Amino acid sequence: MKAFVLERYGKKRELKSTEMPEPELRDDEVLVEVHAAGVNLLDTKIRDGEFKLILPYRLPLVLGHDVAGVVVRVGRRVQQFRPGDEVYARPDDFRIGTFAEFVAVKEASLALKPKGVSMVEAASLPLVGLTAWQALVEKAKLKKGQKVFIQAGSGGVGTFAIQLAKRLGATVATTTSTANVALVKSLGADVVIDYKSQDFEELLHDYDVVLNSQDGKTLDKSLRVLKRGGKLISISGPPDPEFGKEIAAPGFVRLVVRLLSAGVRRKARGRGIGYSFLFMRANGGQLREITRLVDAEAIRPVIDRVFPFEATNEALAYVEAGRAKGKVVIKVK
């Protein structure tokens, strides 16, 4: 099969287009013919070597964390899927590899594709959808009438999270540039802050939840817009001790993780706020919940650009530039 492969870690290093054997199918996995693959900033960070400590991949490595496609073969323990099913998924860590013609995905991480969207649209959903779900539903337990601040509302996670938060009945504030104000309002944002000319810390007060996706300075400011008892959930770090436990990290890594987040956890405790780091995980059950929302037209995919398979490196560079509105997708088939 054709695949784009990372041979060595390196900043902005190009992936190599090459022929690879099809993935070996385990008993609890499904072989999916890739029709489309979402592109995420996570792919560029792994390529650059930023996650070597917590995700020690062996190279060469096929990148890619989102897939929509068709089942071609199933492992002998698989019961929910059969050849011909149209499916989508965020493959598990250490089983990623959607920048290829085929990928093996655990049955437990897979779901039937929403009927009302294309393969390209479906491929844009898993990673950002699961991130938003695990942040707002699982960790924050966001309720009707609460106020949530979702940073970078026009980005991949932001466009999904705004829609999900509105579905849950929350009041939503977000940041974006002037050019994207209409987009985030159309998704349901109630309060829109132009980050180039306004300071969210001066405008937002007594919020229940913040979904942080920006830098350390923004993280500090986010603490000050939350009310006592509020929750600060960060998808951009720093990782917390609970994350070290979740990934069963060795003792040295757990110590590093604890030290990295010590400052923000101390500040959060002082303000009576809960801090947690989210590194989203594959989950087919949650994807099925997302499928229902998409089929009910409560959430719509937001796609900026679609690249052909042979332009995978260009797609990564475009995502890394940080100007995408919604998601970037590679059309493989």
Reported as a pLDDT band with limits 50, 70 and 90, residue 249 is: confident
Q: Name the class of domain 128-277.
A: alpha beta
The answer to whether residue 178 scores a pLDDT higher than 90 is yes
As a three-state string, the secondary structure of the chain is CEEEEECCCCCCCCCEEEECCCCCCCCCEEEEEEEEEEECHHHHHHHHCCCCCCCCCCCCEECCCCEEEEEEEECCCCCCCCCCCEEEECCCCCCCCCCECEEEEEHHHEEECCCCCCHHHHHCCHHHHHHHHHHHHHHCCCCCCCEEEECCCCCHHHHHHHHHHHHCCCEEEEEECHHHHHHHHHHCCCEEEECCCCCHHHHCCCEEEEEECCCHHHHHHHHCCEEEEEEEEECCCCCCHHHHHHCCCCHHHHHHHHHHHHHHHHHHHHCCCEEEECCCCCCHHHHHHHHHHHHCCCCCCCEEEEEEHHHHHHHHHHHHCCCCCCEEEEECC
Q: What is the mean pLDDT of residues 110-122?
A: 97
**pTM of the shown model:** 0.97
Per-domain boundaries in the chain = 2-125+301-331, 128-277
Q: What is the mean pLDDT of residues 233-248?
A: 91
Q: Which CATH superfamily is domain 2-125+301-331 in?
A: Medium-chain alcohol dehydrogenases, catalytic domain (3.90.180.10)
pLDDT of residue 248: 85
Q: List, for residues 75-99, the tens digit of each pLDDT value.
A: 999 999 999 999 999 999 999 999 9
Q: List, for residues 200-218, the tens digit of each pLDDT value.
A: 999 999 999 999 999 999 9
